[in-house]
Structure formats: structure tokens, C-alpha cells
Amino acid sequence: MECARLIPYYVKRRFFCFRSQEHFPWLPGLLFVVEEGREGSMRAVVQRVLSARVDVEEKTVSKIGPGLLVLVGVGDSDADADSDFICRKILNMRLFTNEKIGKAWDQSVMQKNYEVLLVSQFTLYGLLKGNKPDFHLAMPPQQAEPFYNSFAAKVSKAYKPELVKDGIFGAMMQIHLVNDGPVTMHLDSRKSIGSGTVESQEVSSDV
């Protein structure tokens, strides 16, 4: 099927294609890809901290000083575009005060040269069925682990590897933190996916 343009959209398992001349005559030459059963998106909870650490079996495996603690959830249908979006937002959202000019919400973690601690957390996809949590929207562990590891490597490469720390995927972790503010932001890679691209989304971090 030939078409002049393809609308960017995410396909999980199945999709339908409609010729515009048959279904949308006012949009000649346009091919629509409409997703069925869209589930999930990549999510992150970003906390501005004075310090944070991850303990596993009573041993500290990672710790940071001032910076960001990021809880990361991977959805069942997430793709590289989702991790790209979350990576950019984590590193560029302006959650810190510019001490030189006394302006709040003016600098990113990179501008401050602060640290980032990433922690995988599939429970960000928890839904309550009655009183019991259900996590079927989260990516299965066998696929989620390499996806999460590639995301962590992406953040390290985009910033400074020595300033990006990590927990242990799948481990029972104890997270200790001193939230500064408190400041906590929620990111969702496809909250505004109706525009057709992840890049077009904005969150309330740019104050």
C-alpha cells in the first residue's frame, strides 16, 4: 500500500490501516495506523534529594549525595522512543535553584553537576483489583531487565558515567533518601501521545 505519509504512532501487537480515500476522503494520500489495545508507557518518579542510597541484604550497593533519585517503571509496550524521552527529561528538567542569580527551578542536574540514582520499580504499574495489586501492564522481567539496563546505560552515556548510579534489577531493595523540598515529579512517556510523537509531549517540570 503506497501512501504519501505515515503518522508516527506506537504499535503493540495489532494495528489497522485505512486508506484515506476510502475512509477519510478529505485527507488524500494519507495512511492511518491505529493501534488496538494500547497498554502502558514508560514511567518515572523523580525526587530531588540531598542524599539517597540503595541497600540489598543489609549492604549498601549504591549511594549519592545531592541530585535525583529516579524510580523507573517499564511498560509492556515500551520502545526506545520512550526511554529516550525519559532520559532527556531526567537530565534536563529544571528542579534546582540557580545560586548565582537566586532563581528557583532554573537548573538541571547536569548543570549542577549532581548525581543520579536509578532504581527499577515495576510497581509503578500497579492496579488495584479490589484490594489486591495487579501488575499485568508492566513489562515481563525477562524483557524488562535488558530494556532497563539499556536505559541506565543511555542515561550514563548522555551524562557522566561516574555520576549515574543504579540499584539491582529484581532485587528486594531498601531505598533510603532525604527528599529536598520535598520535590517529586511524575513522568509518563506517552501521557500526550495523541499528538503522534513522544517528542511533542511536555511535563510540568519546566517551571
Quick one: 16 and 89 in the same domain?
no
Give SS3 for 179: strand
CA 81, CA 86: separation in Å to the nearest integer?
9
Q: Return all residues near 20 (Cβ < 8 A) that are at least 6 apart.
A: 26, 27, 28, 29, 30, 31, 32
Whether 111 is covered by a domain: the verdict is yes
Quick one: 25 and 115 in the same domain?
no
Closest to 75 measured CA to CA, from 197, 190, 175: 190
Quick one: 13 and 88 in the same domain?
no
Domain that holds residue 133: 43-195
147 is catalytic: no
The predicted pLDDT at position 13 comes to 37
Cross-strand pairs, 133: 128
The predicted pLDDT at position 190 comes to 81
Of the candidates 96, 122, 147, 151, the residue annotated as catalytic is: 122
> Pairing state of beta strands 5-6 and 30-35?
parallel
Number of domains observed in the structure of the chain? 2
Of the candidates 60, 111, 123, 174, the residue annotated as catalytic is: 123
Quick one: 19 and 61 in the same domain?
no
CA 194, CA 178: separation in Å to the nearest integer?
37
Quick one: 22 and 90 in the same domain?
no
The predicted pLDDT at position 31 comes to 38
Quick one: 68 and 158 in the same domain?
yes
Quick one: 141 and 181 in the same domain?
yes
- Please state the pTM of the whole predicted model: 0.75
Of the candidates 85, 107, 121, 151, the residue annotated as catalytic is: 121
123 is catalytic: yes
- The per-residue pLDDT string of the chain (207 residues; one tens digit each, 9 = 90 and over) reads 333 333 333 333 333 343 333 444 444 443 333 333 344 589 999 999 999 999 999 999 999 999 999 999 999 989 999 999 999 999 999 999 999 999 999 999 999 999 999 999 999 999 999 999 999 999 999 999 999 999 999 999 999 999 999 999 999 999 999 999 999 999 999 874 444 434 433 333 333
Q: Is 110 within 8 Å of 69 (Cβ atoms)?
A: no
Quick one: 16 and 63 in the same domain?
no
Quick one: 121 and 72 in the same domain?
yes
Quick one: 62 and 28 in the same domain?
no
Whether 207 is covered by a domain: the verdict is no
Closest to 196 measured CA to CA, from 33, 29, 1, 16: 33
Cell reading at 73: 517503571
Q: Report the Cα 176 to chain-centroid distance in Å.
A: 21
122 is catalytic: yes
Cell reading at 185: 515529579
Give SS3 for 98: strand
CATH code (residue 50): 3.50.80.10
The predicted pLDDT at position 191 comes to 72
Q: Is 169 within 8 Å of 151 (Cβ atoms)?
A: no
Quick one: 73 and 115 in the same domain?
yes
Cross-strand pairs, 59: 56
